[in-house]
Structure 1
Amino acid sequence: MARVPYVDASDVPDEYEDLLESSLQGKPLHVYQSIGNNPEVLAGLRSFLGSLWTDSGLSDRERELVILASAREAGNRYEWHQHVNIARGVGIDDDEIAAVGTGDLDPLSEDETTLIEYAHAVIRGEVDAIAHDEIAGVYDDETIVGIAAAAQGYDALAGVIDAFDLELEAGTEFHGWDPR
């Protein structure tokens, strides 16, 4: 059982009701319903996460690889599960998803491997000159900022999910770190 209640639309002011739903799935998600206990924080978080999606400089595929890498590094099953579905929707196949989940990055391109390794280094606080030079060989400074912000943003969200001990939505089962 989650440590905070899952609010529904009747529990929040009208202007926050839509924020409880996934814009992709069109249904309420536990992550938003839990944070909805503080609607203003939910609004700010959704704005921030939306900016990471649209302003990071990453393609949909690259963004989802960063988010999956962040969820895996954090060991966050809820976030991983949600983004496996999204990753599939942007054309990342199960072999590539499993590569991120298991750490065997062979199915990914060299640039994608660099991206994932950089995201891991950001989350671990281990970005050194070598890691920076490697990512700078692939991306410009603006996108590197987007990558680091996305990795840390989703790592922070994973921490909130863990603090609240969120469960997967009813009717779903964890895909596993290797969803094949």
Structure 2
Amino acid sequence: MARVPYVTQDELDPEYRDHIVSSLQPGKTLNVYSAIGNNQSVLDGLREFLGALWNHSGLTDRQREIVILTTSSEIDSTYEWHQHVNIATDAGLEPAEIDAIARDDRRSLSEVERALVAYTRAVVRGRVTDALHDAVVEYVGEETAVGAAAVAAGYLALGRLIDAFAVEIEAGDTFAGWELE
């Protein structure tokens, strides 16, 4: 059971009501945002921040989902993993590649993707080295390296909120699983 109530749209001020609804699944209320909605200002700022990461990181959709899935796997966030499995599939990741990310098996990924996975895991662990940073910059440039680190750190923060509030997968959904195949 969640540690905070899931607020409904009717409980929010009108300008925040759409903040608890998925932008990718119109009409679907997400528990994570409903939990954070207990503080409407924080919800507003978090949605703006995550939106900037989503839209302006410089990563391709596929790369962004690799970073988010890697972060989710690293912190064992079943909720975040579940939310992003379908998004990652839509972004071009195959189920076997998603499974490989869960196992930290990078062999099926391109060189650039392997560098992003290593970098993401280091960001989440707080162990980025000059060599890891330089490798990512070599592949994607400074601006996108900053975006990759920000996506990893942003979804790490979101995962910690999910954990703090014991956010549950939405009613009617079944966990996608750490292994899809």
2:102 is matched with: 101
Q: 1:62 maps to what in 2?
A: 63
Q: Equivalent residue for 1:172?
A: 173
Q: Matched residues, percent identical?
A: 52
Write out per-residue CA displacement over residues 74-108 of structure 1, whole angstroms, 9 at most, x where no aligned residue.
Answer: 11000000000111111211011111011111111
**Structure 2: distance between partners of 1:89 and 1:8:** 28
Q: Aligned equivalents of 1:131 and 1:62: distance in 2?
A: 16
Matched, 1:13 2:13: yes
C-alpha offsets along residues 24-69 of structure 1, whole Å, 9 cap, x if unaligned? 0111000010001111110100000000011100111100100001
Can you give the 5+ residue segments of structure 2 that lack an aligned partner in the other structure? Answer: none
Paired AA for residue 116 in structure 2? L
Q: 1:171 offset after TM fit, Å?
A: 1.3
Within 1, Cα distance between the matches of 2:15 and 2:48?
14
Q: Does 1:146 align with 2:118?
A: no
Which sections of structure 1, spanning at least 5 residues, go unmatched?
none
Letter in 1 for 2:140: Y
Cα distance in 1 for residues equivalent to 2:13 and 2:70: 35
Secondary structure at the aligned position of 1:137 is classed as: helix
Q: Residue 25 in 1 paired to residue 35 in 2?
A: no
- Cα deviation, residue 17, structure 1: 0.5
| Equivalent residues, number | 180
Question: CA separation in 2, counterparts of 1:103 and 1:116?
Answer: 8
Q: Which residue of 1 aligns with 2:118?
A: 117
Q: What is the rounded CA distance, in whole Å, between the counterparts of 1:69 and 1:140 in structure 2? A: 20
Q: Which moved more, 1:85-94 or 1:75-84?
A: 85-94
> Following the alignment from structure 2 to structure 1, what is the Cα–Cα distance between the partners of residues 136 and 12?
42
- 2-structure distance, mates of 1:20, 1:35: 9
Residues in 1 aligned to 2:153 and 2:95: alpha-carbon distance in whole angstroms: 24
- Cα offsets for 1:105-137 (capped at 9, x unmatched): 111111101111100011111111111121122
Instruction: Tell me, in whole angstroms, the C-alpha distance in 1 between the residues paired with 2:173 and 2:107.
Output: 29
CA displacement at 1:2 relative to structure 2 = 0.2
Amino acid at match of 2:23: S
* RMSD over aligned Cα atoms: 0.8
